[in-house]
Amino acid sequence: MKTSLISYIVTLVIFTGIDFIWLGRMGDIVYRPVMGNMALEGFRAAPAVVFYLIFAAGVVYFAVSPALASGQWQTALLKGALFGFFAYATYDLTNQATLKNWSTFLSFVDLGWGTVLTGVSATLSFLLVSFILRLV
């Protein structure tokens, strides 16, 4: 239980922190020009918080925990990247299929970002949690 809680908190902070940096820098460059008036000026905090809470749990379950069990960072990277790919593909391709302003370009960029972000976050979480567990 202690390992799961530490893994969850670490993953939540890493994933959210990196994603906030990306969205803060790329929102006006990549997303807003394609989405147009469909995009809010800011963001709605409640759905964003719920997303990050749920997604971090998925990263821990599908990538960080298996990596901790195997003791290999490569497990976190591969399983994290795959989890990110499938989750972001669901979002991006559904948007592309149903929204006028959603483009193939945006799907590729966001899907790539989700894959890399989740793989890197899972790997960094595995490394940090492994270090923390050696200390306690």
Query: What is the C-alpha to C-alpha distance for residues 133 and 136, in angstroms, rounded to an integer?
Result: 5
Q: Alpha-carbon torsion 97, 42, 29, 88, what sign?
A: negative
Residue 53 has what pLDDT? 98
Residue 119 has what pLDDT? 98
Residue 17 has what pLDDT? 98
Residue 11 has what pLDDT? 98
Residue 101 has what pLDDT? 84
Q: Where are the domains of the chain?
A: 2-135
pLDDT tens for the chain, 136 residues long, are: 899 999 999 999 999 999 999 988 988 898 888 887 777 777 789 999 999 999 999 999 999 999 999 999 999 999 999 999 999 999 999 999 998 888 999 999 999 999 999 999 999 999 999 999 999 8
Residue 30 has what pLDDT? 87
Query: What is the C-alpha to C-alpha distance for residues 90 and 105, in angstroms, rounded to an integer?
Result: 16
Residue 120 has what pLDDT? 98
